[in-house]
Structure 1
Amino acid sequence: MSTPILLLIALAAVALLLVSVIKFKIPAFLALLMVSILTALVAGIPIGDVIKTVTDGMGGTLGSVAILVGLGAMLGKMIEVSGGAEALAGRFTSILGPKRVIAALTAASFVLAIPVFFDVGFIILVPIIYGFSKAAGLNPVKFGLPVAGIMLAIHVVVPPHPGIVGGAGVLGADIGWITILGLAICVPVGILGYFVAQRINRRDFVMLPATAEQFRLFGSGTSEVERDAAASQTATSTAPGGTEVQRGGVALATAPATPSPGMIITLIVLPIAMIMVGTVSNVVLPEGSALQPLFAFIGAPILALLVTISLAYYFLGIRRGWSSQQTGEIMDSALAPTAIVILVTGAGGVFAKVLTTSGIGAALADTLTTAGLPVLLLAFILAAVLRISQGSATVAIITTAGLLAAAVSGGGFSAVQTALIAVAIGFGALGFSHINDSGFWIVTRFLGLSVADGLRSWTVLTTILGITGFAITALAWAATSAVGL
C-alpha cells in the first residue's frame, strides 16, 4: 500500500480506539485488541498471520513488563501496609521543620512515588495530608496539590511504572538510562511543581460540601477517609509483643513501631542504585571487559527488584513479627489490581506490533524524515494528544511508542537518545489531566475540588509540569548529543 493510505489507516485506527474507549466505554484491553486485529486486516497483513502477530506483540511486551510491574507492585504494597509512607512523611517533616511541612510532604512523596503507583500512593498519603492540614488550619488542597503533581510526574517517566516500562519495551529503550534521566529531570520538575502549586493556591478554593464534612470529621474516627484508611490499617486487638491489625484485607501481628524511614529509603534507593551500576558500567568499562557481564547482571531491573523484594520480605515482614504466610498474603494481594494494568500494557504492545508489521510505522518514519519534524517533539505531541483524547497516561505512552517504534529503530539513535524519546513520551502523557482521567477524580474528590476548580488547578499544574519536563528533556537531548552520548 502507498504511504498516504497507510497513514490514513493509522489515523482511523487511533480514532476508532479513542471512540471505543471514550464514547462506548469499551474496556481499553478489549478495544486495543479489536482495533489491532481490524487494523491488521485492513492494512493487508495476511489473514493467516494476524493472530500470530497478536500473540507475538502480547508476548514480546509482557516478557519485560509483567515481571517488573508485578515486583514493583509487591514492593509498593509492603511499603504501604508496613506504614512506611507515614514514616517517610514524618522524617522529612522533622528534617525540614514544621514551617516547611508542605515542602516536606512533597519531598517524601517524590521518594514514595518511585515504587508505588500514583493513585495508590496518593490515597495512602491522604490521611497524612488531612492531619497536617487540620493542624495548620489550612485547606487540604494546599498540601495535596504539589504532592499529587510530583507523584504523577514520577509515575509517567520512572520505572517500574507500567506505562514507561511498556513504552521502553516497544522502543527498545534501556530501562537504566530511563531511570537515571527520568529521576534527574523530575527533581527540577518537582521543585517547580511546588512553587507553581503555591501560586495556584493563592486562590481560595471552596471545598465541596461532602468533602468538607469528611474533613471536619477527620480525627474523630468517623470520617470516610479514616474508614478507607482503616481498610489497610485498622488495629483490632492487642497481642503480646505487638498489635494485631487488619491491613489490605490480611490479619497479621506486627511490631508496634513502623519501619524506620532509613529502611524505607534504602529499599527504594537500592534497586535504582543497582540499575545505575549496570547502566553506567556499560558506558565506563571498555568493550569486552570481563566485568561487564557481572555488572550487567547486577544492574538488570528484574534482579534489582527481586533482591529488594527479598529484603522487604524480611525487614518489613518477618523481622517485624509477621509470619511467612501473612507476609506472602500481603505480597500476593498486590498482584490482583495490577492484572488489568499488565493486560492493557500487553494489548498496547499488540497494537504496536501491528503498526510495525503492517508497514504503518515505516510509512510514518518516512513521512517524518521527509517533513523534517524532530522525533522528540513528535513523541511529546502525540502522547499529549492521546492523553487529552482518552485520559489514560499508560495507553497514551504505549500507543505513542508503537507509532514511533519504526522511526526510532531506523533512526540510528544512541541508547541515551532513545531513552530521552521515551521520557519525552512520558511527559507528553503527564499533562492535560481532565475529566476523562481517573487520576483527576481521585485528586479532586479527596481534595474537595469542584470540576471547574479541578480544571483551574490540577489540570493547569499537570500541563505546566508536562511542558516543563519536555523542555528539560529537550535540553538534555541537545547536551548529550553535543558530547556524543
Structure 2
Amino acid sequence: MDEVVLAERPAGLLVAIAVVAIAVLLILIIKVRLHAFFSLIVVSVLTGIAAGIGIGDVVSVVIDGFSTTVGAVALLVGFGAVLGRLVEMTGGAQVLADRMLARFGEERAPLALAVASLFYAFPIFLDAGFIVMLPIIYTVARRLGGSFMLYVLPSIGAFLMMHALTPPHPGPTAAATVMGADVGMVVIVALLVGLPTWYLAGYRLGLLIAKRYPDMPVPTLLGEPKDYPEEERPGFWTIIFVLLLPLLLIFFNTVFSTLEADGVVTEDNLAYQLSRLIGTTAMALLITVLLAMLLLYVIPRRRREPIGGVLENLVDDALAPVCSIILITGAGGAFGRILTETGIGQTLADGLDALGLPIMLAGFLIAVIFRVAQGSATVAATTAGSIMAPAVTAMDVGTIALAAVVVGISAGSITFSHVNDSGFWLIGRFCGFDTVTTLKTWTVIATAIGFMAFGLASVVYVVAS
C-alpha cells in the first residue's frame, strides 16, 4: 500500500475520535442491530476520515486491513471448520467424549476439556486450535446437559493464556526477539506465571461466569450431530492421530526454524525447507484435513455408501456458516488498521513512556494501550517490546528478570479485547454469543488473565532483580 496521507490532529482529539467510534459501533451492533460486518466497515471509513486519513486513502487502508486479516485467518478457519465437522459428523467427537468422561468422570468434564485445551493450545494458534476443539466441547456439553458456558469458558481461558504468554505464539515470541530475551527462559517464566493464572482467572472464573448463563444452548454451527453406532465410529487412536498431526507438523517447523536462526542448519537444508512447506499452521491443517477425509470418512464408508457427493456436501456445509465469521473477522481487522494508521496508540504510549514509570508497569500499560487502540495482541506485544527495548538494554536486566518483563508485556497485550479485535468476533460467533455476551465472557476472562499474569510476572521480576 502507498504511503497514507494523514492530516495532523491533536492527541486529545484523536483519543476522543477513537472513543466515539467504539461507542457508535456498539450502538449500531447492539441497539440498531445492523450486521457487525457492515457496522465495522462503515465506522472504519468514518473514523479514518475524522482522524485525518485522506479521503482518497481511507478505503485503501480499510481494504488493506481487511485483506491482511482475512489472509491470515481464512485458511485457518476454513480448514479448521472442515476438520471440526469431520470429527463431529463421523462420530469421532463421540469417541473422544466417551473416553474423556470415562477417565475423568462427568463432574470433572470442564476441567478435562480445559486441560486438553492447554496441551492443544501450546503449539497451535488460538483461532485454529479452538475451532478444532469445538466439536469435542459440543459433544460433551450435549451429553451431560446444562449450560454450554460451563464447558466452553474454561477452554477459552486455556487458549487465551497460552496464546497471550507462551512462545511459539507470535506476540510473546516477537516481544522476546525485539528485547533480546532468551526464548527458552520466556517459556519457563510464562508457564510458571501462566498455569496458576489459567487455573484461577481462566478455569475458576469461567465456571463462575457460566453460572450467570444456566440455559445457554449448544450451538449448531457445525451441524446437527448424528448418534453413530459404535461399530461405525472411528477408532480412538485414529482420532488422536488426526488431532495431534497438525501439532507435530508445526513443532517440526518450530524446531528447524530455531536451528536455522541459531546457525545450526542453513537455509538450503532439505529438512528446513520441508519444515517451511508442511509445518506452517495453514499447510499443517490442510494436510490433516485431507488425511481426516480419508481416515475418518472415505475408508470406513467405502463399501456402505457413495462417497464423493456426500463428502462434498459435508465440506460445503462446514464452510457455509464460517463465511460470515471470516467477513466479520476481516472487518474487525480493518477497524484495527484504521486506528493504527491514525497513531492513537503511539500518541498515548509516548506520553506514558515519558512519565518514567517502573519498567514492568510501563511495558504492561503500553501493551494495554496498543491492545485497546488497535485490537491485535501480536501488534500490541511487538510494539510495546520495541518501545521498551532501549530502556531494558540500558538497565542491563538479568535473563530471568528480562523474561518476566516480556511476560508482563504479553499479559498487557491480551487485556480488554473488544470490537476491534478479530478474535473477539471469531470466538464469539463460533460460540453462538451475541456482542454483549462476548464482552461479558471472553473480554472479562482475557482481562483477568492479563492482570493476574502481570501481577505474578512482577513478583518474578522483583525476586530475580
Using the size of structure 2 for normalisation, the TM-score is: 0.66
Structure 1 counterpart of 2:224, from 211, 221, 231: 231
Query: How far has the Cα of 1:65 moved from its partner?
Result: 1.3
Are the counterparts in 2 of residues 127 and 225 from structure 1 also a CA contact under 8 Å? yes
What residue number does 1:126 align with? 141
What residue number does 1:266 align with? 241
The answer as to 2:54 corresponding to 1:79 is no
Inter-partner Cα distance in structure 1 for 2:322 and 2:348: 32
Percent of aligned pairs with the same amino acid: 28
What residue number does 1:281 align with? 256
Structure 2 counterpart of 1:307, from 287, 290, 300: 287
Are the counterparts in 1 of residues 90 and 233 from structure 2 also a CA contact under 8 Å? yes
Structure 1 counterpart of 2:312, from 328, 333, 338: 328
Are the counterparts in 1 of residues 414 and 450 from structure 2 also a CA contact under 8 Å? no
Aligned partner of 1:357: which letter?
E
Aligned partner of 1:374: which letter?
A
Are the counterparts in 2 of residues 382 and 428 from structure 1 also a CA contact under 8 Å? no
Structure 1 counterpart of 2:156, from 142, 152, 156: 152
What's the secondary structure of 2:387's corresponding residue?
coil
Inter-partner Cα distance in structure 2 for 1:234 and 1:90: 12
What residue number does 1:411 align with? 387
The answer as to 2:3 corresponding to 1:15 is no
Question: What does residue range 240-255 of structure 1 map to in structure 2 within 5 Å?
Answer: none
Q: Kindly tell me: are residues 282 and 316 of structure 1, through their superposed partners in 2, closer, same or farther at Cα, counting changes over 3 Å?
A: same
Q: Residue deviations 1:395-422, cap 9 Å, x none?
A: x9x73559948944853769x9889856
Are the counterparts in 2 of residues 105 and 147 from structure 1 also a CA contact under 8 Å? yes
The answer as to 2:348 corresponding to 1:399 is no
Q: Which runs of 5+ in 1 are unaligned?
A: 131-139, 160-166, 212-223, 236-242, 244-254, 387-395, 431-436, 445-450
Q: Residue deviations 1:324-347, cap 9 Å, x none?
A: 332232122111211122111111
The answer as to 2:330 corresponding to 1:346 is yes
What residue number does 1:318 align with? 298
Inter-partner Cα distance in structure 1 for 2:313 and 2:72: 24
Q: Residue deviations 1:289-328, cap 9 Å, x none?
A: 2344443334311111111111111111111216133223
Inter-partner Cα distance in structure 1 for 2:116 and 2:34: 37
Are the counterparts in 1 of residues 367 and 383 from structure 2 also a CA contact under 8 Å? no
Q: Kindly tell me: are residues 348 and 267 of structure 1, through their superposed partners in 2, closer, same or farther at Cα, counting changes over 3 Å?
A: same
Are the counterparts in 2 of residues 53 and 353 from structure 1 also a CA contact under 8 Å? yes
Inter-partner Cα distance in structure 1 for 2:211 and 2:27: 37
Q: Kindly tell me: are residues 84 and 173 of structure 1, through their superposed partners in 2, closer, same or farther at Cα, counting changes over 3 Å?
A: farther
Query: How far has the Cα of 1:280 moved from its partner?
Result: 3.8
Are the counterparts in 2 of residues 368 and 375 from structure 1 also a CA contact under 8 Å? no
Structure 2 counterpart of 1:471, from 452, 458, 462: 452
Structure 2 counterpart of 1:69, from 64, 67, 77: 77
Query: How far has the Cα of 1:228 moved from its partner?
Result: 11
Are the counterparts in 2 of residues 106 and 146 from structure 1 also a CA contact under 8 Å? no
Query: How far has the Cα of 1:467 moved from its partner?
Result: 1.9
Question: What does residue range 34-53 of structure 1 map to in structure 2 within 5 Å?
Answer: 34-53=42-61
Inter-partner Cα distance in structure 1 for 2:20 and 2:308: 52
Q: Residue deviations 1:7-52, cap 9 Å, x none?
A: 2222222222222223322222112111111111112222111211
Q: Kindly tell me: are residues 441 and 327 of structure 1, through their superposed partners in 2, closer, same or farther at Cα, counting changes over 3 Å?
A: closer
Inter-partner Cα distance in structure 1 for 2:273 and 2:447: 37
Q: Kindly tell me: are residues 404 and 116 of structure 1, through their superposed partners in 2, closer, same or farther at Cα, counting changes over 3 Å?
A: closer
Inter-partner Cα distance in structure 2 for 1:206 and 1:399: 27
Q: Kindly tell me: are residues 41 and 109 of structure 1, through their superposed partners in 2, closer, same or farther at Cα, counting changes over 3 Å?
A: closer
What's the secondary structure of 2:257's corresponding residue?
helix
Inter-partner Cα distance in structure 2 for 1:84 and 1:461: 27
Question: What does residue range 182-221 of structure 1 map to in structure 2 within 5 Å?
Answer: 188=196, 191-192=199-200, 196=204
What's the secondary structure of 1:335's corresponding residue?
helix
Query: How far has the Cα of 1:83 moved from its partner?
Result: 1.8
Q: Residue deviations 1:126-159, cap 9 Å, x none?
A: 22113xxxxxxxxx46xx6652222222454667
Q: Kindly tell me: are residues 321 and 151 of structure 1, through their superposed partners in 2, closer, same or farther at Cα, counting changes over 3 Å?
A: same
Q: Which runs of 5+ in 2 are unaligned?
A: 1-7, 122-128, 164-168, 177-182, 393-402, 419-426
The answer as to 2:101 corresponding to 1:93 is yes
Inter-partner Cα distance in structure 2 for 1:98 and 1:311: 31
Inter-partner Cα distance in structure 2 for 1:151 and 1:88: 16
Are the counterparts in 1 of residues 97 and 136 from structure 2 also a CA contact under 8 Å? no
Are the counterparts in 1 of residues 149 and 213 from structure 2 also a CA contact under 8 Å? no
Inter-partner Cα distance in structure 2 for 1:229 and 1:62: 21
Q: CA RMSD in A?
A: 5.2
Aligned length: 400
What's the secondary structure of 1:44's corresponding residue?
coil
Structure 1 counterpart of 2:346, from 359, 362, 373: 362
Are the counterparts in 2 of residues 401 and 425 from structure 1 also a CA contact under 8 Å? yes
Q: Kindly tell me: are residues 419 and 50 of structure 1, through their superposed partners in 2, closer, same or farther at Cα, counting changes over 3 Å?
A: farther
Structure 1 counterpart of 2:67, from 56, 59, 62: 59
